């Protein structure tokens, strides 16, 4: 994969580049602010841009705004937002803008190299990768609490894993149930939330998250 990194902390930027290079990916550019990120994406046309939310000059949400701009100008680019904080609003913003090829991870996740690389691969392939903490933050912050209360405990577990971007078989492995059971739970969830049924993995994730984040 061809990747552009935007991260203002030099140590993390170097660490990310090292991990990605180690796994044989091409780090086309590693920059420290949002403007440089937009320029680098326009120049290198990466598969994925890894974007830190807080960057100079204001250290607020420059990265996120740049990510949304990139998505508008270069729709094929996967966006993996990378933050030290759980900001469910940012995640919801991203979801409203993008239909797939998007992710939001806490920086801690990168310590588990395998999962991190999986997440990037999913995003590059047009899928989703949401941090479990971001997902649970969105589930907690949702205004649809009464609807969530209607879900059984197991259904909520499935919903959380689904929201992270896991496939049915991954959810089945994780919960030690059959894939058939997972499908049944999912169809229950969809009907309880009043969402139209959908087959594609990331589509249904987006539907759920957009609903929760709205």
Partner 1 sequence: MITANDFISDNLTMTGPDQGSSSPRRRILRAPFTRRTWDELAYSAASLLLALGALIFIVPTLVNGLLWALSAPGVRKLGAASRFLVRELLDEDVPAPPQLRSIVSYKVRTQDAARLAGSVAAAGGKIRVWETKPGVTVRKLPLDRITELAAEAGITIDEVQPQSAALNWLAGRILDPTTWRTRAYFVLKTPIAGLSLALAGGLWLGGLYLLTFPAWWELGRGGPAGVNLTGAFLLVPIGAAMLLAAPWLMRGTTEADRWLVRTLLGPSSPAERIRALEESRARAVDDSAARLRGIERDLHDGTQAQLVALAMKLGLAREKLHGTGPVDLVRITQLVDDAHRRAIETIAEVRTLARGIHPSVLDNGLADALTTLAARSAVPVELVTDIPERPSAAIETIAYFSASELLANVAKHSGARHATLEAVHVPGLLRIRLTDDGRGGAYPVPDGGLRGLAERVRTVDGHVTIDSPAGGPTAVTVELPSHA
Whole-number minimum distance, CB 28 to partner 1, in Å?
20
How many Cβ atoms sit within 10 Å of the Cβ of residue 23?
14
Residue with Cβ nearer partner 1 (121 or 188): 121
Residue with Cβ nearer partner 1 (23 or 192): 23
- HEC assignment per residue over 85-144: CCCHHHHHHHHHHCCCCEEEEEHHHHHCHHHHHHHHHHHHCCCEEECHHHHHHHHHHCCC
Which spans of this chain sit near partner 1 (rule: CB under 8 A)?
8-9, 11-12, 14-16, 18-19, 22, 54, 59, 84, 107-108, 110-114, 116
Residue with Cβ nearer partner 1 (1 or 209): 1
**Per the structure block, which two tokens stand in for 74?**
């270069």
**E strands, the chain, where?**
2-6, 26-31, 48-52, 78-83, 102-106, 128-130
Question: What is the DSSP-derived secondary structure letter of residue 196?
Answer: P
Whole-number minimum distance, CB 91 to partner 1, in Å?
19
Q: From 208, 194, 192, select the one nearest 142 (Cα to Cα).
A: 208
Residue with Cβ nearer partner 1 (25 or 107): 107
Residue with Cβ nearer partner 1 (19 or 175): 19
Whole-number minimum distance, CB 53 to partner 1, in Å?
11
Whole-number minimum distance, CB 185 to partner 1, in Å?
32
In the chain the first and final C-alpha atoms are separated, in Å, by 33
Whole-number minimum distance, CB 106 to partner 1, in Å?
9
């Amino acid at each position: 994969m061809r990747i552009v990194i935007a991260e203002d902390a030099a140590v993390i930027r170097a660490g990310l580049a090292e991990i990605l290079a180690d796994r044989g990916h091409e780090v086309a550019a590693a920059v420290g602010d949002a403007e440089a990120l937009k320029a680098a994406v326009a120049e290198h046309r990466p598969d994925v841009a890894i974007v830190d939310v807080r960057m100079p000059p204001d250290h607020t949400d420059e990265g996120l705004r740049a990510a949304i701009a990139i998505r508008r100008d270069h729709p094929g680019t996967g966006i993996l937002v990378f933050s030290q904080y759980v900001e469910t609003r940012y995640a919801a913003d991203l979801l409203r803008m993008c239909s797939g090829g998007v992710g939001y991870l806490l920086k801690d996740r990168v310590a588990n190299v395998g999962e991190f690389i999986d997440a990037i691969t999913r995003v590059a392939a047009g899928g989703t990768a949401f941090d479990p903490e971001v997902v649970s933050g969105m589930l907690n912050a949702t205004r649809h609490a009464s609807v969530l209360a209607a879900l059984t405990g197991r259904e909520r577990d499935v919903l959380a894993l689904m929201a992270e971007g896991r496939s049915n078989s991954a959810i089945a492995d994780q919960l030690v149930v059959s894939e058939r059971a997972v499908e049944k739970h999912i169809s229950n969830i969809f009907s309880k939330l009043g969402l139209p049924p959908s087959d594609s993995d990331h589509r249904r994730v987006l539907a759920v998250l957009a609903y929760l984040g709205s």
